[in-house]
Structure 1
Amino acid sequence: MINRPVSRVLIEDRQAAELCRRRVTSLTNIVIAIVSYVAVVSALTFSTGASWVLAVVAIVMMRWISITVLVRRGVSSKLQLQAHAVGATASGLAWGALPALLWGSGGFVEFAFAGFVIAGTTAGGLSSLSWYRPAYLGYLLGATIPLAAVYLLQGSVLFVAMGGLVLFYAAVLTATSVSFGQQLQETLQLQSTLEDEREELSSARADLRLAARHKWQTLAYLSHHLRTPMNAVIGFSDLMASESLGKLGHPKYRDYAEGIQFSGVEALRAINAILDVAEIETGTMTLSFSDEDLCALVAECVAEQSSNAASRKVALRCTLPDAPVFVRGDPKRLRQILDGLISNAIRFTPKTGSVTVNVSADDKGWWALRVSDTGIGMSEEKIKEAFIPFVRLDNPLTQEFNGIGVSLTIARRLTTLHGGEFRLDSDIGRGTTAVVRLPARVGRSASKRREIEMVSPT
């Protein structure tokens, strides 16, 4: 909810600031007063005309000086607005004094000129003084009421008509200033509300960033402390399964030990994945860069995944240039990207389907690694969800797909850390293609290429 008193103060601050910024327009009153004096000098005595001009100049300067002093002293915006209203009313009365001074000595031309000048100044003041309605109304009424009174007191039909029009003109400007002032108030209120909301959103965003950082730090802490006991479980179960220290007795014990070892390895993989995501999100992951042959890494990963593909009756094909393709990267993390993408493609490809790994140069001189499958594919919305850590796109209760939903997240983040680009293209029922683009290592990549094909046994 918006704090109403605070919003009112903010609005008054904006009004005072705008009036202060536009106060330079009050200096035009001096120029207009001098021109007016010259125009009607024949109908005024020198002392009367000079005194009026000096009064206009004095009021303008006092307005300027008083506002400057109030601003520098840090006086509240409300008092500044009141000062603006007093100064504007004084200026309006100074203009209203001009037709009164012409009473008895001025002719029709002088009175008409005075009306023309006052009409112009009050219309011009609408844009500069309407930020604070009392200031403009003081200026408008102070200038027009005396003018209308002088016109009406002349008695002739023409002057009476002019006086009536002046009053009508003042009423129209009053209504315009009221409407304009209301719109300004609504605009300022909306701006104040938006500022409040922006501050709340900024604070909430900062809290969310802090909470997210604490979340990943906590996950990293837990994953780190789960590694040690899980390594012990895997190590001891391996000793038991291999019966290194002697027979276990019942044959079932060996089966149990192998099951414990398998489950421990799977759990450790999940823990390591969580720790990797946590390190990436908190910015604590460090990479050890070196010149690596991308083709050699791909060939090794494909060979390691061949048995996995064969067990699922999925054809695993790999098309590579015959010459080395060097990129700058961390070999461990590059393998992690490749293993994650290939195993993901195999996991989501049905039997008799195929997974193809391809390395080729693109039009920008970068190397593009593509891992394509003929699997179930996903919609555009699901692609966005796929990059959210721990979001699984399958139903773990009804599907055979395993994993904790971080492989694509890790692959994209690691690609970015290598200075590359990651893209996922997919369509439901037509499979998925993951594209990893990495900058080529200048001077190391060969230009002559011959493609070969490796197919995993099915």
Structure 2
Amino acid sequence: MSIAVSTSTDKIIVDKSRSHRNKPVSKTVRATRQRLQTGSSAPSGFEREMLLLHIDSVLNGAIALPILVVLIAATGVYLSGDRSFLPWALMALSAHAVTVFLARKAKREDIGTEKVSIWRHRFLAGQVLMGICWAIFAVRECDSCRDISFALFEGTGLFIALAVTAMGTFLLRNALLCTFAPVIAALGFSSLTGGNPVHVGLTGMLSLSLAFLMLMTGRMNRANVHILSVQSEKDDLIAELEVAKSMSDEARRRAEEANLAKSRFLASMSHELRTPLNAILGFSEVMSTEVLGPLNNPTYKEYTVDIHRSGQHLLDLINEILDLSRIEAGKYELSEEAVNLTEIAEDCIGMVQLRARSKAITINEQFEQAMPAVWADEKAMRQVTLNLLSNAVKFTPAGGEITVKCGWTAGGGQYISIKDNGPGIPEDEIPVVLSAFGQGSIAIKSAEQGTGLGLPIVQAILAKHNGQFVLRSKLREGTEAIAILPPRRVLQSLPPVEDVPSPTRRRKSFA
């Protein structure tokens, strides 16, 4: 009972109890493909990534702007002696603190695509607050200071602030404009109402600088978008490769399972089919030879001959399938020894001679003399020669001729050539007949159809010997099949080494 259970369990080849698909990889690829299809190369496709980079930039450079504000306030107090710069500094630091607070809150929150626009407007509002602080600084006046020195101080502070803001906010589109638009508006209004020539000049220079820096930061922004686009494409390619690898692993696993199922099926069938076939062949041979008594009806005797012939054909087919299966599975082991190709060819000719005579086919032998032995599997080489001879006899018409040659190749190897004058094979069908179960049009029309496994088995056996199989054929002229073994398998007998006496020994011998 336990044996039956283990056998049934062993026959469950394909495991369907778990999913072999890489779900995370498939999900990533679907997302990246959808992003590519919706035009991810456009700047709007990377708003979230650019916003995240801006958040990191704000947090990493949070100390830069407070230092600048403190220096400007301290310088203003020193130049003017007016302590009103301190409340301005406190206001500017508070505005900057709002931006840093927003950055930290956004860093903790998982910003989705739908929230990108909200957070972007929040950061731009923070920049507007900072711009109002710089506008207040720009329109300040100092009665105790000289106009030129204070104007130089204001201009220097504003230009440094403009540069610092440009470097820190280029990842956030329009941030520089939101910051310094209030400054230019305040300076412009002061110039129109007060007619201060210093404010007029500062407004013009600051406007030109703002336009130039906006152009440069716009290019930097686009360059970063391009970098993100390239990175995204690289990630997409990596995801595609991961999916391809996952699919390849899945296909390989299924192929291995199918191959295992095939091997187990053939191993099972080899026993379950051969056992009844041997009984059929044995009993049909006993009945056809009338060992246990005569068959009164001659028709029954013909039937027993047909049964024996059909059973033998089926057994040969099973053996060929099993041979090819073992070769493909890498389990066909060679039992190598010193063998002589001419002797193998002569034995195989004797096996097919009776069948050839029944079709009045002449078999000619052309063997080179004194050929040394080769290191090969005798059983396998007999199978190669017998398969080629059987094909030649099968497709050679009655009264035809077959030539069997054994000799040397140009490179020092040995070969067996079997040539017939049958109908031949069309050139475009040669790859077909060399494939498993492949048959040419001549074979299909012939009354003696084969299994289509003979030549693939020959080719595989010669490949195991590091040899070569060549098939040459011309329509209506015949076919030549050549089995070639490489030179390294030829066992050459070395001549004895003569012991040449040295001159000293030669003189002693003459003495």
User: Shorter-chain TM-score category?
Assistant: 0.5 to 0.7
1:421 corresponds to which letter in structure 2? G
- Which residue pairs with 1:420 in the alignment? 466
Check 1:425–1:264 CA distance in 2 against 1; reply closer, same or farther (3 A cut): closer
What amino acid is the match of 1:237? S
Match of 1:393 in 2: 440
Query: RMSD in angstroms over aligned alpha carbons?
Result: 5.6
Q: Give secondary structure in 2 for the equivalent of 1:440.
A: helix
Deviates further, 3-12 or 307-316: 3-12
Label 1:176 to 1:333 Cα distance change in 2 as closer, same or farther (>3 A). Answer: same
> Per the alignment, in what secondary structure is the counterpart of residue 338 of structure 2?
strand
Match of 2:370 among 322, 330, 347: 322
| Mapped partners of 1:168, 1:411: distance in 2 | 75
Residues 1:313 and 2:361 are matched in the alignment = yes
Match of 2:326 among 266, 279, 282: 279
Q: 1:276 to 1:425 in 2, by over 3 A?
A: closer
**2:314 alignment partner AA:** A
Report matched runs for 1:329-348 at 5 Å.
Answer: 329=377, 331-348=378-395
Q: 1:141 Cα shift?
A: 5.9
Correspondence list, 1:241-320, <5 A? 241-310=288-357, 311=359, 313=361, 315-320=363-368
Aligned mates of 1:349, 1:108 — CA distance in 2: 107
Give the secondary structure class of the aligned counterpart of 1:328: strand
Change in Cα spacing, 1:264 to 1:256, as seen in structure 2 (3 Å) is same
- Distance in 2 (alpha carbons) for counterparts of 1:142 and 1:323: 93
- Work out whether residues 337 and 411 of structure 1, in 8 Å CA contact, stay in contact via their aligned partners in 2: yes
Q: Tell me which amino acid in the other structure corresponds to 1:192.
A: A
1:441/1:185 CA distance change after superposition, 3 Å: closer
Unmatched tracts of structure 1, length 5 or more: 13-18, 35-41, 124-135, 449-458
> Does structure 2 conserve the Cα–Cα contact (< 8 Å) formed by 1:237 and 1:258?
yes
Which residue matches 2:68?
Answer: none
Q: Distance in 2 between matches of 1:151 and 1:318?
A: 107
Residue from 452, 457, 460 that aligns with 1:410: 457
Which residue is equivalent to 1:37?
Answer: none
* TM-score, length-scaled by structure 2: 0.58
Between the aligned partners of 1:414 and 1:370, the Cα distance in structure 2 is 16
How far does the alpha carbon of each residue in 1:154-213 deviate from its partner, in whole angstroms, 9 at most, with x for none? 764343123123334444444555566456545544543453243124212321231133
Change (3 A) 1:220 1:113: same
Does 2:55 match 1:7?
Answer: no
Written as runs of structure 1 = structure 2, the 5 A alignment for 1:133-282 is 136=171, 146=179, 156-175=203-222, 177-178=224-225, 181=228, 184-185=231-232, 188-189=235-236, 191-282=238-329
- The 5-angstrom pairing of residues 44-63 of structure 1 reads none
- For residues 161 and 315 of structure 1, do their structure 2 counterparts lie closer, same or farther at Cα, with a shift above 3 Å needed? farther
Q: Name which one, 1 or 2, has greater alpha-carbon Rg.
A: 2
Q: 1:2 to 1:30 in 2, by over 3 A?
A: closer
Q: Deviations over 1:102-139 (max 9, x none)?
A: x876687897788778878889xxxxxxxxxxxx5xx6
The aligned amino acid for 2:325 is A
In 2, the alpha carbon distance for the partners of 1:383 and 1:152 equals: 88
Give the % identical residues.
21
Map Cα deviations across residues 412-439 of structure 1 (whole Å, 9 max, x no partner).
22223x3413344446526454443345
State the distance in 2 between where 1:222 and 1:279 align: 14
**Contact in 2 for aligned 1:347/1:401 (Cα 8 Å):** yes
- Checking the alignment, whether the CA contact within 8 Å between 1:220 and 1:274 is kept in structure 2 is no
Contact 2:177 2:214 in 1 (8 A): yes
Change (3 A) 1:248 1:291: same
Which residue of structure 1 lines up, in the alignment, with residue 503 of structure 2?
none
Structure 2 CA distance for aligned equivalents of residues 392 and 149 of structure 1: 88
Residues 343-362 of structure 1 correspond to what in structure 2 (within 5 A)? Answer: 343-350=390-397, 352=400, 354-362=402-410
C-alpha change, 1:189 and 1:323, in structure 2 (3 Å) is: closer
Letter in 2 for 1:377: I
Compared CA separation, residues 426 and 314, structure 1 to 2 (3 A) = same
The normalised TM-score by structure 1 is 0.63
Contact 1:333 1:414 (C-alpha < 8 Å) held by counterparts: yes
